[in-house]
Amino acid sequence: MPIVFDLVSTDASRVVVRPSPLAELMAFLHSVAEPGHHPGASRDIRAVRSGVDRATERRLRTFAPLWARFRLRALLPLDTSHPATFQDELALMNAMPAPVFDSMVAETIASGSWERYYGLRDPDDHRAEFLEVCRAKSEEREELGELFLADRAAFRQNLSDLLQHCHDTFFRARWEATLPQLSTAEREVRGRFSQDRLGVVLASLTPGGHYLPQTAQVAYDKLQNAFVSCAGRDLVLVPSLFTRPHLVVKFEEAQPRANLPIVVQFPITELGTTDVPLRELQHRMAVLSDPARLVLCRHLVNEHCTTGELATRVGMTEPQVSRHLRRLREAGLLESVRDGRLVRHRIRLGTVYSLGHQFLTRLVQ
């Protein structure tokens, strides 16, 4: 299911690219709450979990539903100002009109279900229904929903205090360390706008992005199914290190009066890593699923072999082996090196090892 951006009546002048310290903190807290999605951040996650006091650990666990899955829109850029400090962004969150902030919190605690099924009805007026929706998701969400309904102003203040505490105790140094990478990504994306069409640039932010030039649309592979008109709206692109492998898209269809920009928080590619499109990943797995090729791979995984050696070992003809090797090579799974008059082949171990990780990455994007 895709989220489709309609770009017919917009252009690059409505687009802002900038890092966001508050959004990056939320991405980091998400990785702490969902470590299985972020094996690359395991060292940072362990450091935080072992370093925070028990009171902070309890508070993080309590508020985790705000970033564990359906991320709180209020922690992403609320305007197009640039540059923005952590204090600037936190102050904007604290100053949001209560109806807008509260509806975002209700939607997030209910994991998106409240606005989907109940529109913008006040959860206070429908307490039992709201808590039932939260309970269907988890006990933690029900408990957080009760805390929210008990005192909304105190809820916002407690959240703000927790975010400030996280920033001061363990996130500030991480933000300062990652900012150069984020700034580089910002400049790279900005530079693309002078070279490519808006749709091409937006699609390039993730392997799950697809540009449809005939209709001037961009589609992102997400669990949501939505059509978003970008006409008359600003678009903020937020490079992120800790959000990897996720792409976060917020378009606030239910919040037209808030006049919020559309936000796309996209993962920057770290040095030495590559993103494999889903179609290519599926192709590689299909190529490896052939029983005859699996037999060949058992020999090719340990040493370089010639076509003739493989044919002798597995009882195939050389033309048969050549056809299988060609399929492996076309899928990027085989390396071939010339040794005098001979050509020796071997499986690309790193590529094959990474298939499982890449497959999981595509699932959780």
DSSP-assigned letters across all residues of 46-113: HHHHHHS-HHHHHHHHHHGGGTSSS--GGGS-SS--SS--HHHHHHHHHHS-HHHHHHHHHHHHTTTH
**Residue 11 sits in the same domain as residue 124:** yes
What type of residue is 18? R
The answer on 288 and 256 residing in a single domain is no
Residue 273 lies in a domain: no
State the DSSP code for 32: H
Q: What pLDDT is recorded for position 56? A: 95
Note whether residue 16 is domain-resident: yes
Are 24 and 140 members of one domain? yes
Q: Count the domains in the chain.
A: 2
Q: Which of 118-122, 272-276, 303-307 has the lowest mean pLDDT?
A: 272-276
Cα–Cα distances in angstroms (integers) from residue 292 to residues 298, 313, 320, 325, in the given order? 10, 12, 10, 11
Range of the domain at 304: 278-364
Between CA 304 and CA 178 the distance in angstroms is 41
The answer to whether residue 144 sits within a structural domain is: yes
Check pLDDT > 90 for residue 42. no
Q: How many CB atoms lie within 10 A of CB 295?
A: 16
- 195-247 per-position pLDDT tens digit: 889 999 999 898 888 899 999 999 998 877 889 999 999 999 999 999 988 89
Domain end call among 246, 267, 288: 267
Q: Specify whether the CB–CB gap between 86 and 21 falls below 8 A.
A: yes
Q: What pLDDT, in 10s, does the model give residues 287-301?
A: 999 999 999 998 887
Claim to verify: residue 36 and residue 169 sit in the same structural domain: yes
Residues 352 and 221 in one domain: no
pLDDT attached to residue 125: 76
7-18 pLDDT, tens digit per residue, is 999 999 999 999
pLDDT of residue 119: 58
| Residue 7: per-residue pLDDT | 95
Confidence (pTM) = 0.75
Tell me: do 206 and 79 sit in the same domain. yes
Q: Residue 29 and residue 293: Cα distance in Å, rounded?
A: 43
